[in-house]
Amino acid sequence: MSNVERNYEVAKEIYAAYGVDTDAVLKRMDEIPVSIHCWQINDLQGLEDFNSKLTGGIQATGNAGGKPTTIPEYFAQLSEALKLVPGRKKVAAHAIYHTLGKVVERDELKPEYFADWVDFAKKEDIGLDFNPTYFSHPKSEDGFTLASRDESIRQYWVGHGKCCRKVGEFFGKELGQTCYTNHWIPDGYKDITVDKIGPREILIKSLDEIFAEKIDPKYNVDSVESKLFGLGVEAYTVGSHEFYTNYVAHKDNCIICMDAGHFHPTEVISAKLSSYLCFGQEIMLHVSRPVRWDSDHVTILDEETQAIMEEIKRADAFDKVHIGLDYFDGSINRIAATAIGARSTKKAIMKALLEPTAKLQKLEHEGNLTQRLGFLEETKTLPFGLVWAKYCEMHGCEQDNWIERYC
């Protein structure tokens, strides 16, 4: 018996005493994908122009070496990162990551420009999600896209949104699993805004136009991502959380996307999930780590990431909440960064699955709040790492040897 196996047997017994079946947790882990964002590998630069500038009020900082300079190198690095992450995965592609090798008008993108992504996904045995790129473009430079008062600019970006849904549908059909296409726009003002309704009315019109075509939700589901502020967009963001919450409530086939970094510093998305789930809504997540602001640091196994997964577990909603990542840190090795964040997210999922939720909820329902807190605290130190090691081994993933390959 290997060390990992022996340790796992010990953990299994300890968890069993709490009524938790670790074998069932290992199985369940394999049903829950984490959607790994394609953009950490090269600082959101896309693949069409390796000298492009990132705009839209977001910023990747740091200049660690090893950034890919060709498309094959990019895919090789992404593949390397995926191998370090055990279990089921998707990759979230972005519109500027088509593989034509030249700049293409965003409203002329075609599904076949992403055929290499489908081949890659088949080879890696993963699913795909998608994101339109409503930024890093001359037509977004005045700060407005879908909410623009300039009709030709607005139409251009509506065209982009429509193209992207077709890419999502293509991914869904080709890979036999739903693609979540997430729409985030940077629109807003730096300073005091005196017409806050106007741009929001324009945004509703644009979104309605983009989503007018019915696409089978088996293949593509759209999400809209809210935000509080961006760099240079500090005063007013058109697509606020309240805006999109109301938008999705009036639509079918369109769900909310919450990014952990898009709220006030003490406001957490873990607290929000149940209020969508109780209305039967699905949710897309961008699990990120804001440090002081929406800094998009690499996701770690911190309290909030854990709380997010616990909330999903407690609501039995892993099929309704779609877990995606969103961070871009150029100050450390990008392959390792991709893997570290994805692994930490999966650890958080596993830890949540190992929670003796039934026992804790029973105590709460009975009004036994002392025991609820007592057991909540004790479960924090149960040996979940031993179960994680077993999971890595099951999937032929190294546990920590791989770290020393990167600097």
How crowded is the C-beta side of 317, counted as CA atoms within 13 Å? 25
5: buried, middle or exposed (CB in 10 Å: 19+, 13-18, 0-12)?
exposed
- CA dist 333 → 87, 200, 222, 330 (Å): 22, 39, 32, 7
Taking phi first (over 0 means left), then psi (-120 to 50 degrees means alpha), and beta for anything else, what does residue 40 get? alpha
Q: What is the C-alpha to C-alpha distance for residues 157 and 153, in angstroms, rounded to an integer?
A: 6
Rule CB under 6 A: say whether 183 interacts with ligand RNT.
Answer: no
Residues 277-306, one symbol each (x = binds ligand RNT by CB under 6 A, - = not), give ---------x--------------------
Question: Could you tell me the two tokens for 310?
Answer: 């616990």
Site for ligand RNT in 363-402 (CB under 6 A): none
**263 binding ligand RNT? (CB under 6 A):** no
**Residue 326 binds to ligand RNT (criterion: CB under 6 A):** yes
Report the residue from 174, 259, 304, 355 that binds ligand RNT according to the rule CB under 6 A. Answer: 259
Active site residue 157: no
Residue 225 known to be catalytic: yes
Q: Does 106 bind ligand RNT (CB under 6 A)?
A: no
The pair of three-digit structure tokens given for residue 39, joined into one six-digit string: 């953009």
> Residue 58 touches which of Zn ion, ligand RNT, none (CB < 5 to 8 A by kind)?
ligand RNT
* Residue 236: CB minimum distance to ligand RNT, A: 15
Can you tell me the distance from the alpha carbon of 394 to that of 170, in angstroms, rounded to the nearest whole number? 32
User: Is 39 an annotated catalytic residue?
Assistant: no
Q: Is 131 in the site for ligand RNT (CB under 6 A)?
A: yes
| Cβ proximity to ligand RNT, 132 vs 172, nearer residue | 132
Cα-based torsion angle of the residue sequence 256, 258, 264, 270 in order, rounded to the nearest 10 degrees: 110
Contact indicator for 288, 259 with CB cutoff of 8 Å: yes
The binder of 227, among Zn ion, ligand RNT, none, by C-beta within 5 to 8 A per type, is: ligand RNT
241 binds ligand RNT (CB under 6 A): no
209 among known catalytic residues: no
According to CB under 6 A, which one of 225, 282, 311, 329 is a site residue for ligand RNT? 225
* 85 is an interface residue for ligand RNT by CB under 6 A: no
Q: Is 286 annotated as catalytic?
A: yes
C-alpha span between 360 and 375 (Å, rounded): 7
> In three state form, how does the secondary structure of 308-344 look?
HHHHHHHCCCCCCEEEEECCCECCCCHHHHHHHHHHH
Query: What is the smallest separation between the CB atom of 225 and Zn ion, expressed in angstroms?
Result: 5
CB of 287 to ligand RNT, least distance (A): 11
Catalytic residue among 311, 326, 329, 355: 326
Min dist CB 327 to ligand RNT, Å, is: 8
- The neighbour count for residue 359, using CB atoms within 10 Å, is 16
Among 90, 200, 227, 347, the residue binding ligand RNT under the rule CB under 6 A is: 227
Identify which of 49, 55, 40 has the alpha carbon closest to the alpha carbon of residue 69: 49
The stretches of 19-64 forming alpha helices (DSSP H) are: 22-29
* Catalytic residue list contains 184: yes
Catalytic residue status for 259: yes
Q: Where are the beta strands (DSSP E) in 38-193?
A: 89-94, 127-131, 179-183, 188-189
Min dist CB 125 to ligand RNT, Å, is: 24
Residues in the site for Zn ion, rule: CB under 5 A?
259, 286, 326
Q: Which residues are catalytic?
A: 184, 225, 227, 259, 262, 286, 294, 296, 326
Which residues of this protein are in contact with ligand RNT, per CB under 6 A? 39, 44, 58, 131, 184, 225, 227, 259, 286, 326
